[in-house]
Copies of this chain bind each other. A is one copy, B any other.
Amino acid sequence: MRTLFYKNRPQLIGFAGVGGKAEGESPAASDFDITVTDDMWGEKSFELAERKMFLTAVYKALSNASLSQKDITLLLGGDLLNQIISASFAARELSCAFLGLYGACSTMAESLLLAGALVNAGYVGQVAAATSSHFATAERQFRMPLELGTPKTPTAQLTATAAGCAIVREHKAEDRPALTCATMGRVIDYGITDASNMGAAMMPAALETLVTHLEETKRPESYYDLIVTGDLGTFGASLMQEEGRRHGLTFKNYTDCGAELYKGRPEIYCGASGCGCSALMLCGYYLKRMMAGEIGKLLFIATGALMSPTSTLQGESIPAVAHAVAIERGV
């Protein structure tokens, strides 16, 4: 059984999303807590700007929960950078414990899954789950220096400049979105070698996790008001639906954070990617739509492509993983 059940329904009591310039033009942006017009955000390097976004998301989620950083026991999180320096250096500013995670763009789900597990079992009281990505730090690490102006291919996505954080706490009488269960993903690799086609590389993992989640929880697809994948992008999301129909899925209430974040902007090709994409859309948008009563039961499946530039140069294909977290209100 790859599904963890949270009988004590830990709650998301504060959440915040921080976005960059392109993210500030999203149809969802009016819900975001903070958007900046300069992706450097006054810092002297892209990496420092990303770290500031990570830390700002944590502080803002805390303040949205009327808490300060001294009220949390633990930060669970990571990012895309080598040795997850955004998360690690952000953690240096906090007095709580830190468990670093790497699940590529699945990190928001991985951190929520572990936060839910630790809080549900009573190990810790209040925990922050957070992640970030930045177009400029990711692009120069994973692909080409920005200065080269390398053209993109049609299946390419753009790494979101964004961060998101959610504060998980034991269940109390307040009506807040609660974590009810989560399904851990396994690593799946269908042999895709094109690092500009992340949607195709990650789709099999997302679908396998969704199918496993529905089987193990005995929930029909229609149980959820919304099933949202992390950053398959428009191409990956269409593959997901095509392939998923063979498993009897209908995708009536399905979308993808990567397809939604830059919706209406075909010049960004297949949409957004990066840890920050699904973190921003979940913590900055969907959870707020839940609080507004528009979504009651949400299944969040963040997807991660686990390659590195070294593995790509050495001719490896792209393994992927996807973790699913069920978030429900009124339970």
Contact = CB atoms under 8 A, between A and B. Distances in A.
26 contacts: A2-B74, A5-B123, A47-B310, A74-B184, A82-B83, A82-B308, A83-B102, A83-B307, A83-B311, A84-B102, A85-B306, A85-B308, A85-B310, A85-B311, A88-B321, A89-B316, A89-B319, A91-B187, A92-B319, A97-B186, A98-B321, A99-B103, A99-B110, A99-B114, A100-B110, A117-B121
> Most B CB atoms within 10 A — which of A88, A94, A124?
A88
Interface string A104-145: 100000100110011011011000000000000000010000
A182 to B, nearest CB: 10
Given A98-B184, A100-B110, 9 more contacts: A5-B123, A47-B310, A82-B82, A82-B310, A84-B306, A85-B310, A91-B319, A99-B113, A117-B121
A222 interface: no
A66 interface: no
Interface residues of A, number: 58
A99 B97 contact: no
A31 interface: no
B309 A98 contact: no
Given A100-B110, A103-B100, A114-B114, A88 B186 contact: no
B117 A85 contact: no
A308 B83 contact: yes
A185 interface: yes
A81 interface: yes
Contact of A98 (B97, B114, B186): B186
A186 B103 CA distance: 21
A325 to B, nearest CB: 13
A295 interface: no
Contacts of A188: 92
A187 B103 contact: no
Contacts of A311: 47, 83, 85, 89
Given A1-B73, A103-B100, A306 B95 contact: no
A67 interface: no
Contacts of A199: none
Contacts of A45: 314
Contacts of A189: 92
Contacts of A141: 310
B47 A98 contact: no
A4 interface: yes
> Most B CB atoms within 10 A — which of A47, A80, A103, A184?
A184
Contacts of A16: none
Interface in A3-25: 4-5
B306 A100 contact: yes
B308 A95 contact: no
